[in-house]
């Protein structure tokens, strides 16, 4: 409980135990901690421009996934991603994504600069089958994601030491995209099955996030995942000294 009270020290503690080698770490708060006392007043949040996700299968792998989607059935997967805002109560002092107390807070405090999703939080409303594609964070920052409520979320991560191997594989699989932009994975449009990673000898880890849990990603740690049901999460980037 005492360790949990200092966010920066806790991240340093995780680093000292080589948590970055997994590319992803879960933090479960102590039982007395609450992000928000009640959620019955959040139903009026308006998602102005929801994303409709359309998945195209690359031909050589189509036979592996075609059984997941019934033939001739249209899929309308709606994802409310990158919604500026926070659901943390203002009086939540510890691990409040709106006030983490990291050096990125100086951007706003001393420079008056707000960069949405980087030093101000984003909300994410997912439904069944919505995904987030393989990517690292902007400027190779850390990220932290808190699951407010809903069904569990599945994450998959490749550690920083194997990031270049994932990039090389992605360039081979998505040749057209990689020729158009060397950093095309930053567009967050490429999904690669863990089965394909395994076949190509790329180590990975997968983890399930439940409501009330945090996930932390590390600099240059690739991660992706999906929602098996409705979920509401909140995320932000951060940096430490």
pLDDT digits (tens, 9 = 90+) for 12-30: 999 999 999 999 999 999 9
Q: Is 8 exposed, middle or buried (0-12, 13-18, 19+ CB in 10 A)?
A: middle
Within 10 Å of residue 238's Cβ, how many Cβ atoms?
A: 22
| pLDDT computed for residue 152 by the predictor | 95
Q: Is 20 helix (H, G, I), strand (E, B) or coil?
A: helix
| pLDDT computed for residue 117 by the predictor | 84
Could you give the CA distance from residue 44 to residue 85 in angstroms, rounded to a whole number? 13
pLDDT at 56 over 60: yes
Q: Using 50, 70 and 90 to split pLDDT, how confident is the model at 58?
A: low
Encoded tokens for 66: 């075609």
| pLDDT computed for residue 234 by the predictor | 98
| pLDDT computed for residue 46 by the predictor | 78
Encoded tokens for 216: 């932390």
pLDDT digits (tens, 9 = 90+) for 125-177: 999 889 999 999 999 999 999 999 999 999 999 999 999 999 999 999 999 89
pLDDT at 183 over 60: yes
Domain coordinates in residue numbering, the chain: 3-238
The topology under which CATH files domain 3-238 is Jelly Rolls (2.60.120)
Q: Is 146 exposed, middle or buried (0-12, 13-18, 19+ CB in 10 A)?
A: buried
| pLDDT computed for residue 47 by the predictor | 82
Query: By C-alpha distance, which of 169, 177, 223 is closest to 196?
Result: 169
Q: Using 50, 70 and 90 to split pLDDT, how confident is the model at 59?
A: low
pLDDT at 114 over 60: yes
Q: What is the mean pLDDT of the chain?
A: 89
Query: By C-alpha distance, which of 222, 216, 219 is closest to 202?
Result: 222
pLDDT digits (tens, 9 = 90+) for 60-85: 554 444 334 444 455 567 888 999 99
SS3 content of the chain, % helix, strand, coil (to 5): 25, 25, 45
| pLDDT computed for residue 69 by the predictor | 42
| 145 and 138 Cβ atoms separated by less than 8 Å | no
pLDDT digits (tens, 9 = 90+) for 195-226: 999 999 999 999 999 999 999 999 999 999 99
């Amino acid at each position: 409980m005492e360790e949990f009270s200092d966010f920066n020290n806790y991240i340093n503690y995780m680093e000292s135990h080589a948590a970055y080698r997994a590319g992803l770490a879960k933090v479960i708060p102590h039982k007395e901690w609450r992000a928000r006392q009640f959620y019955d007043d959040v139903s009026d949040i308006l998602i102005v421009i929801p994303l409709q996700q359309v998945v195209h299968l690359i031909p050589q792998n189509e036979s592996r996934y075609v059984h997941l989607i019934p033939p001739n059935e249209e899929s309308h997967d709606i994802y409310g991603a990158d919604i500026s805002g926070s659901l943390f109560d203002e009086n939540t002092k510890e691990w409040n994504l709106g006030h983490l107390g990291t050096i990125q807070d100086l951007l706003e405090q001393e420079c008056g600069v707000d960069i949405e999703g980087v030093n101000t939080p984003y909300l994410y409303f997912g439904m069944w089958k919505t995904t987030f594609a393989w990517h690292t964070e902007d400027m190779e920052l850390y990220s932290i994601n808190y699951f407010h409520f809903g069904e569990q979320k599945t994450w998959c991560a490749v550690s920083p030491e194997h990031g270049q191997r994932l990039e090389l594989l992605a360039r081979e699989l998505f040749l057209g995209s990689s020729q158009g932009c060397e950093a095309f994975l930053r567009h967050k449009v490429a999904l690669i099955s863990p089965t394909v990673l395994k076949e190509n000898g790329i180590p990975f880890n997968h983890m399930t996030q439940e409501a009330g849990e945090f996930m932390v990603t590390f600099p240059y740690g690739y991660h992706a995942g999906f929602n098996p049901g409705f979920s509401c999460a909140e995320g932000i980037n951060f940096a430490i000294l």
